[in-house]
Amino acid sequence: MLMCLTASHKNASFDLLEALSVRTDSVARRITEHTECVSGAVVVATCNRFEAYIDFDEPLTSAQAVALEATADAVAAASGIDAAILRQSLEVHSGQDAAEHLFAVAAGLESVVVGEGEIAGQVRRSLERAREEGTTSSDLERLFQRASQTSRGIKNRTPLGRAGRSIVRLALDLAESRISDWSTTKVLLVGTGAYAGASLAALRDRGVTDVSVYSPSGRGARFATKHDMDNVSSTDFARLAASVDVIVTCTTANGHVIDAELLQRGRLEAHSAGADAAATVTPIGAVAAAPAAAHSAATAGLIAGTGLDGATLEAANGCPVDHDARAQLVIDMGLPRNVDPDVQTVRGVELLDLETIRIHAPLEELQATDEARKIVSRAARKFSDVTDEQSVSDAVVALRSHVFDLLEDEIQRAAGRGDDGETARALRHLTGVLLHTPTTRAKDFARAGEAQKYRDAIETLFGISVDGLASAAEDRAVADDAARGEATA
């Protein structure tokens, strides 16, 4: 049985999703270790969702409770979030519903921006991580591979995904009203991962040419060389961050990379170097004056950080807070947050984070979405049918093994009586005809969710142990493979 436990932007707070995005590497392993009933787990963790896909060895009446407990305990151990809160926040899907949910997620139908393209890659990488950790299973492999196939089918057969939808592009769409001319806008990109590449592409599509990159992990030089842009050193980071028009952050670094103190310090460094930060920022829209109390607090904090008294600092460099600062936009694409919300206390700075972007997400394009959901439903139904059929495959194998063993015994007896092969051919034909209906009915019972009834009937009518004969058949296959290997050695 496959189950999915999910917390997303649709049913969980942004703060909970942010907490869930931290230290999820060990969650899948913890889930698989929770009970012997769990044969596999794959965790999908993105900026707007946390999902655990779990494979149970057999259907259980208490499967939902077991899955919820396993996931909640694993996440609590990894993140420190109270398990009781997690149990209340996780939504549960099972069987075909779990498959349909994942297929919709991979196609971008459950995203903040419907049809966005990044999620398909995130789903694929989640499976790759599970493989590396050894937590996947054959059913989960098939589930996630089918999800990727469905996503590609929707992209090719519907308008969704063709317009380059993404969180990055939505954020830039929301920034349009604040930007007078993208071609003259100076941008600092913080991060070098997949979102950084998507952000850079979206910026250049809008005509931005002046983009530099900073990497908290030190990967900036390689990224800059690959994309023909300037790399910002740690020494210059604060000054440049305070000087550009737009900052886009999309790094996986834990903790805030940018805060009010850094921007204030950067303005002071630029002023000390003789370059007034206000003069280097292009006008990008009207800016409401920051509250006087916030401005005073920011100034006092910066002065305290320098170790100088206010009079000395202002006499040497002028006021550390730029009273004439023009608007500066900070777009935080990180989860957990890359930017401390206190940057909004810095005069002229406006923050656009994922929570704000989510609020302004556009409505779905109904026709394209409906078509995509029909594709998802058909794919999930087909996946479920195949899964159900596989659930009785061992019973079919056991039945056929039992019948063919009897057949071979009869053929041997006929040969001993001098049969010229006619009897053997007739017996084989009859056996095939007799097995056709039980084999077909196995699929019917499986699709109706009554696989166990079929297994019970086989054991009752033929007096065979389905598990025992299936295992024996597997043992014979292994022995045959070994014998063939020795013969060719």
Tell me which H or E stretch contains 454. Answer: helix 451-462
User: What is the C-alpha separation between 314 and 384, in angstroms, rounded?
Assistant: 71
Task: Count the neighbouring beta carbons within 10 Å of the beta carbon of residue 122.
Answer: 16
Lowest mean pLDDT of 17-26, 142-151, 180-189, name the range: 17-26
Strand order through the sheet with 91-94: 38-46, 49-56, 2-8, 91-94
- At 286, is the pLDDT very low, low, confident or very high (cuts 50, 70, 90)? very low
pLDDT at 318: 41
Backbone Cα Rg of the chain = 31
pLDDT at 155: 86
User: What is the C-alpha separation between 219 and 191, in angstroms, rounded?
Assistant: 8
- The amino acid occupying position 479 is A
For 210-267, the pLDDT digits (tens) are 999 999 989 999 999 999 999 999 999 999 999 999 999 988 887 899 999 999 999 9
Q: Compute the Cα dihedral for 329, 335, 338, 342 and give only its sign.
A: positive
State which of 22-31, 337-346, 355-364, 449-458 shows the largest mean pLDDT: 337-346
User: What is the C-alpha separation between 436 and 233, in angstroms, rounded?
Assistant: 72
Phi, psi of 318 (to 5 degrees): 85, 175
Residue bearing the bigger pLDDT, 473 or 79? 79
In angstroms, what CA-CA distances link 162 with 127, 156, 365? Answer: 25, 8, 13
User: What is the C-alpha separation between 353 and 18, in angstroms, rounded?
Assistant: 12
Residues 267 and 277: beta-carbon distance below 8 Å:
yes
Per the residue annotation, which of 37, 47, 250, 319 is the catalytic one?
A: 47
324 pLDDT higher than 80: no
342 pLDDT higher than 60: yes
For 226-239, the pLDDT digits (tens) are 999 999 999 999 99
- Bridge partners of residue 186, in order along the sequence: 210
User: What is the C-alpha separation between 361 and 250, in angstroms, rounded?
Assistant: 19
User: What is the C-alpha separation between 438 and 453, in angstroms, rounded?
Assistant: 13
Phi, psi of 197 (to 5 degrees): -60, -45
Nearest Cα to 393, choosing from 330, 443, 436?
A: 443
Residue 452 CA from chain centroid, whole number: 34
User: What is the C-alpha separation between 88 and 68, in angstroms, rounded?
Assistant: 10
Mean pLDDT of 121-127: 93
Nearest Cα to 454, choosing from 1, 446, 462, 295?
A: 446
pLDDT at 100: 95
pLDDT at 191: 92
305 pLDDT higher than 50: no
Tell me which H or E stretch contains 53. Answer: strand 49-56
- The amino acid occupying position 18 is E
Longest CA–CA separation in the chain, Å: 118
pLDDT at 347: 92
pTM > 0.75: yes or no: no
- Residue identified by tokens 């556009």 is 362
Residue 47 a catalytic site member: yes
